[in-house]
């Protein structure tokens, strides 16, 4: 029987990158239809997503056998799973992840955030690309802006949660509303992150029309007194800025303009069990057939897969796609 590796040790891939962070998609279902995510065929009734028991086996494999210490639950929209709080508790108590985060569109967050915090969620990332109700409806396909803003307020009210707001930089909204977002976030303990639009397979024309670099925004924010911050240990790829006396932190994630593959510390498992070795890569390893054999068997499959991991720089700029999981909602972001 394989001996569990020390917590936090992680795996090292052929390029010397230490992997300690798992992004786990728990559902492909979503209650929004975002223009940069929804593609033909990207739908599911949830009947084939991994069960709580299967997810727990995966969590134990990654945390206790492979030394991963950080977990992010993604989707689709994770809050559409009725057992989400149970998943969080299993990842904390049985798997033993030290840090658990959740990415959500925020529409249902207000009604669940306290339960999730009690279960073990320490950080919530809410996707919010515009502060204009009409633009939100156009980009996200629903009149849900007020619900999302209530969800953010509810998360802040919990007190012990770290709250991040993710803005996908679209030329027509997020980029154009930069000043409005800064004004909205000023004085609030929020991490506001502007994320460069990824080239999703099947949405080439949308990407050509809406992609914009965040570089001009970085220059503007420095002019307003924001200063670059040192990265936290095991931090993500964002370049973060803050200014004295303001709890607002502003970050920029520029996967295309400033690739960060050499610092990648994460793996992704999609809602039906496909292990993605690289967000830009097109291959996957199906872990589901091994779950019945237990965490040690799953961990061994992951170790063998990691030995084949390529340098992500070879595929930067390609459209993101996956044969097994349809579109970004199936990959888990």
Residue from 280, 275, 268 nearest 310 by CA? 280
Q: What is the pLDDT of residue 37?
A: 73
Q: What is the pLDDT of residue 330?
A: 53
Structural contact between residues 55 and 25, judged by C-beta atoms closer than 8 angstroms: no
Q: Which two tokens stand for residue 132?
A: 């204009």
For 199-243, write each residue's pLDDT tens digit.
766 666 666 777 778 888 998 999 999 999 987 766 677 889 999
Q: How far apart are CA 18 and CA 13, in angstroms?
A: 7
* HSE-CB for 112 with a 13 A CA cutoff: 24
Beta-bridge mates of residue 11: 19
**Domains of the chain with bracketed CATH:** 11-331 (3.20.20.70)
Compute the residue count for the chain: 333
pLDDT at 185 exceeding the cut of 70: yes
pLDDT at 4 exceeding the cut of 90: no
Q: What is the pLDDT of residue 331?
A: 53
Other beta carbons within 10 Å of 142 = 16
Residue from 149, 148, 95, 84 nearest 121 by CA? 84
Q: Which two tokens stand for residue 76?
A: 């689709």
Angle at 273 between CA 103 and CA 296, to 5 degrees: 110
Q: Helices in the chain by DSSP H: which ranges? A: 52-60, 84-90, 113-119, 133-140, 145-158, 178-185, 204-210, 215-223, 295-306, 327-331
CA-to-CA separations, 282 to 62, 121, 183, in angstroms, rounded = 22, 31, 40
Provide the CA 28 distance to its chain's centre, in angstroms: 14
Q: Which two tokens stand for residue 141?
A: 């396909």
Instruction: Specify the residue for token string 């995966």.
Output: 58
For 258-280, write each residue's pLDDT tens digit.
767 777 888 999 999 999 988 76
Lowest-pLDDT range of 78-87, 148-157, 309-318: 309-318
Indicate the DSSP class of residue 14: T
* Mean of all residue pLDDT scores within the chain: 85
Percentages helix, strand, coil for the chain (3-state, rounded to 5) are: 35, 20, 45
Asked, as a colleague might, if the bond just before 308 is cis with ω within 30 of 0, I would say no
Q: What is the mean pLDDT of residues 324-329?
A: 47
Q: Which two tokens stand for residue 62?
A: 């990654």
Structural contact between residues 61 and 15, judged by C-beta atoms closer than 8 angstroms: no
Instruction: Specify the residue for token string 């997020």.
Output: 174
For 135-145, write each residue's pLDDT tens digit.
999 888 889 99
pTM for this one?
0.88
Structural contact between residues 262 and 15, judged by C-beta atoms closer than 8 angstroms: yes
Pairing of strands 274-276, 266-269: antiparallel
């Amino acid at each position: 029987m394989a001996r569990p590796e020390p917590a936090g040790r992680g795996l090292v891939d052929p390029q010397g990158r230490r992997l300690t962070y798992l992004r786990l998609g728990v559902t492909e279902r979503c209650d929004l239809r975002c223009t940069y995510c929804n593609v033909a065929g990207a739908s599911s009734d949830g009947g084939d997503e991994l069960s709580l028991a299967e997810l727990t086996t995966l969590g134990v494999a990654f945390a206790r056998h492979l030394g991963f210490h950080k977990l992010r639950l993604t989707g689709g929209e994770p809050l559409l799973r009725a057992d989400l709080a149970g998943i969080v508790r299993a990842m904390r108590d049985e798997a033993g992840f030290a840090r658990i985060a959740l990415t959500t569109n925020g529409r249902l967050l207000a009604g669940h955030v306290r339960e999730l915090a009690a279960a073990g969620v320490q950080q919530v990332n809410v996707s919010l690309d515009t502060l204009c109700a009409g633009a939100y409806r156009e980009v996200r396909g629903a009149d849900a802006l007020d619900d999302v803003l209530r969800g953010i307020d509810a998360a802040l009210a919990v007190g012990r949660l770290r709250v991040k707001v993710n803005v996908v930089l679209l030329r027509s909204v997020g980029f154009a509303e930069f000043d409005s977002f800064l004004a909205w976030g000023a004085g609030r303990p929020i991490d506001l992150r502007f994320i460069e639009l990824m080239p999703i397979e099947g949405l080439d024309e949308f990407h050509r029309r809406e992609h914009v670099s965040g570089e001009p925004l970085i220059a503007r924010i420095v002019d307003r007194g924001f200063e670059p911050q040192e990265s936290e240990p095991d931090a993500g790829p964002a370049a973060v800025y803050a200014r004295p006396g303001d709890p607002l932190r502003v970050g920029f994630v520029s996967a295309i303009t400033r690739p960060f593959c050499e610092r990648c510390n994460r793996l992704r498992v999609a809602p039906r069990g496909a292990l993605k070795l690289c967000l830009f890569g097109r291959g996957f390893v199906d872990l589901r057939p091994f779950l019945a054999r237990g965490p040690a068997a799953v961990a061994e499959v992951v170790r063998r897969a990691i030995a084949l991991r390529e340098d992500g720089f070879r595929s930067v700029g390609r459209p993101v796609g996956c044969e097994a999981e349809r579109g970004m909602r199936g990959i888990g972001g």
